[in-house]
């Protein structure tokens, strides 16, 4: 990643907390004031993180970013909240060891490449810098909200409303179309890999994250690559498509099927295979869902979406606009920029839940 480094760290300004020109103080003064109820929470101390972390809290990383705390720990990397001391701005820093089990880890190199290629696309976080230290690769990027899984769990009824689900799906389809158009499949579409913006301008914009598992499905000239006879398992058990359970090469249709499972979880509150761990049992449950979608997708608009997804030909690009049109009735009269559930104490999700409970009595 050394070669592709975008910005070199400049010397950070040193300052005291009481000084109003200090970047940290500026942030305290201007931000984090009720703009978004879904700001990521940080773990401040090593003991809270359980294991030793890759960066140290209060460290001045690369002489520019003050590490405030750990936001998240994925299977591979760690995500920190930091303050950019040059720009008085909060950022997220993703860090991953360069070597895993003695082998060079390629995930973050791929992720960095795709983030740079897709800068300017509406559903991709801004990347401010990237590079490597002695042992780790890192990416400094735009700070986003908590992820969709956490947003759903914050709802008192553990699901989000039709209007919120519909608008999330419309944006997610757009995000996937942008990625597929440049020839890549994501291969890990799930609620934990989607977040919202956190400032006034982008708080209603959905961002797609984690491009560490992407794979080219088209050549640079636009032809589909030949599928391998047997592909390795890539993705997250709960959300991968049936074809992935059968170890088939992933195409954009598989990202769409993962989006369908994401939609079910957001609107209904869970997936029938939530507590299952065995791959075989999860696969069997997905087959049952595909066989009789009306039993699972109780909302008619989501059922239409499910049927459209199940009828996709994996070798043909999905009809993105048509899929968005199918979902438009789910949104009702909501506009993309109207408040979402978390800005209204989830009252619509609660109303819808109570109504469906009454009608099932
Ligand atoms: N830019 C960001 N702003 C705020 N939170 C973020 C940001 N990037 C990632 N996160 C949080 O960190 C979590 C893990 O991020 P990410 O999926 O990129 O890491 P990973 O190590 O690749 O994870 P996984 O093991 O799931 O593949 C996300 O679910 C999200 O909640």
Q: Is 212 in the pocket of ligand 1 (CB under 6 A)?
A: yes
pLDDT greater than 50 at residue 6:
no
What is the rounded average pLDDT for all residues in the chain? 89
**The pLDDT value given to residue 2:** 43
Calculate how far, in angstroms, residue 91's C-alpha sits from the geometric centre of ligand 1.
Answer: 13
Residue nearest to atom 4 of ligand 1 (CA): 144
pLDDT grade for 49, boundaries at 50, 70 and 90: low
CB 217 within 8 A of CB 183: yes
pLDDT greater than 50 at residue 184:
yes
pLDDT tens column, 282-309? 999 999 999 999 999 999 999 999 999 9
Residue 190 marked in a binding site: no
**Total Cβ atoms within 10 A of residue 73:** 15
pLDDT grade for 257, boundaries at 50, 70 and 90: very high
**The pLDDT value given to residue 99:** 84
Ligand 1: nearest atom to the Cα of 150: 31
Cα→Cα distances 86→18, 59, 129, 150, 311, Å: 17, 15, 13, 31, 51
**The pLDDT value given to residue 48:** 54
- Which of 91-105, 163-177, 210-224 is predicted with the least confidence, judged by mean pLDDT? 91-105
pLDDT tens column, 110-125? 999 999 999 999 999 9
The residues facing 65 across adjacent strands are 61, 84
pLDDT greater than 70 at residue 35:
no
Question: How many percent of the chain have pLDDT more than 90?
Answer: 73
Instruction: Taking the CA atoms of 67, 71, 73 and 78 in sequence, report the sign of the dihedral they define.
Output: negative
Alpha helices in the chain (DSSP H): 23-30, 46-49, 107-117, 148-153, 162-181, 242-245, 252-268, 279-291, 293-296, 300-310, 320-331, 347-359
- Which of 57-66, 171-180, 222-231, 281-290 is predicted with the least confidence, judged by mean pLDDT? 222-231
pLDDT grade for 281, boundaries at 50, 70 and 90: very high
Structure tokens at 256: 């769409």
pLDDT greater than 70 at residue 68:
yes
pLDDT grade for 7, boundaries at 50, 70 and 90: very low
Structure tokens at 188: 């890990």
pLDDT grade for 153, boundaries at 50, 70 and 90: very high
Average the pLDDT over 6-27 and give the result: 53
Residue nearest to atom 31 of ligand 1 (CA): 147
Could you tell me which residue, 90 or 33, shows the higher pLDDT? 90
Q: Is 202 in the pocket of ligand 1 (CB under 6 A)?
A: no
**The pLDDT value given to residue 18:** 52
Instruction: Write a three-state SS string for 321-350.
Output: HHHHHHHHHHHCCCCCCCCCHHHCCCHHHH
Q: Is 144 in the pocket of ligand 1 (CB under 6 A)?
A: yes
Could you tell me which residue, 18 or 112, shows the higher pLDDT? 112
The one-character DSSP state at 235 is: S
- Which of 107-111, 151-155, 271-275 is predicted with the least confidence, judged by mean pLDDT? 107-111
**The pLDDT value given to residue 85:** 96
Could you tell me which residue, 189 or 72, shows the higher pLDDT? 189
Calculate how far, in angstroms, residue 356's C-alpha sits from the geometric centre of ligand 1.
Answer: 34
Calculate how far, in angstroms, residue 72's C-alpha sits from the geometric centre of ligand 1.
Answer: 6
**The pLDDT value given to residue 210:** 94
pLDDT tens column, 258-276? 999 999 999 999 999 999 9
pLDDT tens column, 200-219? 999 999 999 999 999 999 99
**The pLDDT value given to residue 34:** 47
Structure tokens at 90: 């909060």
Calculate how far, in angstroms, residue 313's C-alpha sits from the geometric centre of ligand 1.
Answer: 31
**The pLDDT value given to residue 41:** 85
| pTM for the full predicted model | 0.90
Q: Is 210 in the pocket of ligand 1 (CB under 6 A)?
A: yes
pLDDT tens column, 121-141? 999 999 999 999 998 999 999
Annotated active-site positions, please?
188
**The pLDDT value given to residue 43:** 75
3-state class (DSSP) for residue 297: coil
**The pLDDT value given to residue 75:** 75
């Amino acid at each position: 990643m050394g070669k592709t480094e975008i910005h070199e760290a400049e010397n950070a300004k040193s300052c005291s907390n009481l000084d109003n020109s200090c970047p940290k103080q500026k942030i305290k003064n201007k931000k984090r004031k009720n703009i978004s109820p879904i700001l990521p929470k940080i773990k401040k101390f090593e003991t809270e993180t359980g294991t030793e972390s890759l960066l140290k809290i209060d460290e001045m990383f690369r002489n520019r970013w003050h590490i405030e705390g750990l936001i998240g720990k994925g299977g591979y990397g760690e995500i920190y909240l930091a303050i950019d001391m040059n720009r008085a701005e909060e950022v997220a820093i993703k860090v991953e060891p360069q070597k895993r089990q003695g082998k060079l880890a390629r995930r973050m190199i791929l992720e960095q490449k795709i983030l740079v290629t897709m800068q300017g696309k509406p559903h991709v976080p801004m990347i401010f810098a990237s590079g490597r230290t002695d042992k780790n690769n890192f990416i400094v990027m735009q700070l986003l909200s908590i992820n969709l899984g956490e947003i759903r769990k914050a709802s008192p009824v553990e699901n989000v409303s039709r209007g919120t689900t519909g608008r999330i799906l419309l944006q997610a389809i757009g995000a996937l179309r942008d990625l597929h158009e440049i020839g890549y499949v994501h291969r890990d579409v799930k609620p934990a890999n989607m977040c919202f913006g956190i400032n006034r301008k982008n708080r209603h914009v959905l961002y797609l994250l984690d491009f560490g598992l992407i794979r080219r499905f088209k050549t640079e000239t636009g032809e589909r690559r030949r599928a391998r006879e047997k592909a390795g398992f890539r993705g997250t058990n709960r959300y991968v498509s049936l074809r992935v359970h059968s170890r088939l090469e992933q195409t954009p249709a598989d990202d769409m099927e993962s989006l369908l499972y994401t939609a079910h979880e957001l609107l209904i509150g869970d997936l029938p295979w939530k507590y299952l761990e065995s791959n075989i049992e999860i696969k069997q449950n997905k087959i049952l869902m595909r066989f009789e979608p009306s039993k699972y997708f109780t909302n008619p608009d989501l059922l239409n979406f499910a049927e459209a997804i199940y009828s996709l030909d994996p070798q043909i690009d999905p009809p993105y606009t048509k899929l968005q049109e199918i979902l438009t009735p789910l949104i009702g009269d909501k506009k993309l920029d109207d408040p979402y559930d978390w800005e209204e104490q989830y009252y619509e999700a609660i109303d819808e839940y109570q109504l469906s409970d009454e009608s099932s009595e």
